[in-house]
Amino acid sequence: MGEGQNIIACFYDCDQTLTPEYMQDPMLRHFGVDPAEFWKDNHKLKVEAKTAGVDINPENAYMINLLLYIKKGKLPPLSNADLQRYGKEFITSYPGLPDFFLRTKEEIKNRYSQYGIKLEHYIISTGLRKMIQGSSLNSPGALDQIFASEFMEYQGVIRWPARNVGFIEKTRYLYEANKGVNVDPSIDVNKRMPADQRRIYFENMIYVGDGFTDVPCMALTIERGGTSIGVYDPHNPKAKREAEGLLQDGRISKIAQTDYRKGREASEAVEESIIHAAERILRRNSKI
């Protein structure tokens, strides 16, 4: 029996799924930059690129815009260590996090470890990996891996986008986790692999996101037999409408408010899906 039959994996978007705002915004405010102005300039950059015949993707655009702000002196020179430190200082999360990650892992361990079943939590974000790494979301033991955008630095200052994770790119990490590329880089993600050799089955995946940029991952997860959950900030009417639209379109299995405390909506929705997957694994394994 392959290990993948016994791993349940939850994948989360970050901004507005686990945190109430874009992670860059509080850092920008700290340096006296209006986030609205930054994102406005970001849009201008994309328009200018389009005019020049270059179709720049949104993730590259905001990373380049951040570098331009440093070049223009609107932001101080930043290193990756700075980004990690500001993630620790400024990123706030929704209620119940990161305890939710630790609690659910412990619950599955106590209830199902005798059957070899375990739970893993991942973040897949268009935001900055270093900031997430530094945040409280990345408390010891909470997350198994973070997939997000990164900068290369030169002489202690970030200079070039090294990796940008867009809404389509996000699906790559689901495939990599499915085959185990993320834990064994020697595996070729493009080569055929028998189903029983895959590390995490899609049917044992749960994807949690807040909006249309999560649709590719949501759709892939559902199509392959997994579960997708749309979460929304109850203080944001637009967010709820967007989640309801995703539910009506069949992109997600359920919606919940962004409260991860025990007994609250997001916690209940994800935990219910985790237990459902665990019980399905037990039933299947009992027939082997």
Q: What is the mean pLDDT of the chain?
A: 95
Query: For the whole model, what pTM was predicted?
Result: 0.95
Q: Which domain holds residue 220?
A: 3-20+93-286
User: 246 lies in a domain?
Assistant: yes
pLDDT at 74 over 50: yes
User: 33 lies in a domain?
Assistant: no
Residues 6+ apart with CB under 8 A from 128: 23, 24, 83, 87, 148, 149, 150, 151
Mean per-residue pLDDT, 83-110? 98
Longest distance between any two alpha carbons in the chain, whole Å: 65
pLDDT at 1: 41
User: 175 lies in a domain?
Assistant: yes
Mean per-residue pLDDT, 196-209? 95
- What residue type is 206 in one-letter code? I
pLDDT at 287: 75
User: 138 lies in a domain?
Assistant: yes
> Looking at the DSSP assignment, which residues form a beta bridge with residue 9?
120, 205
Based on the structure, what is the number of domains in the chain?
1
Mean per-residue pLDDT, 255-270? 98
User: 73 lies in a domain?
Assistant: no
- What residue type is 49 in one-letter code? A
User: 178 lies in a domain?
Assistant: yes
Q: What three-state secondary structure class fits 206?
A: strand
Mean per-residue pLDDT, 173-196? 90
pLDDT at 190: 84
CATH number at residue 121: 3.40.50.1000
User: 150 lies in a domain?
Assistant: yes
**Per residue in 15-39, pLDDT tens?**
999 999 999 999 999 999 999 999 9
User: 248 lies in a domain?
Assistant: yes
pLDDT at 284 over 60: yes
pLDDT at 189 over 90: no
C-alpha 6/C-alpha 181 separation (Å) is 17
**Per residue in 141-182, pLDDT tens?**
999 999 999 999 999 999 999 999 998 899 999 999 999 999
To which residue do tokens 């944001």 refer?
236
* Centroid of chain to Cα 20: 14
- What residue type is 27 in one-letter code? M
Residues 6+ apart with CB under 8 A from 102: 139, 141, 142
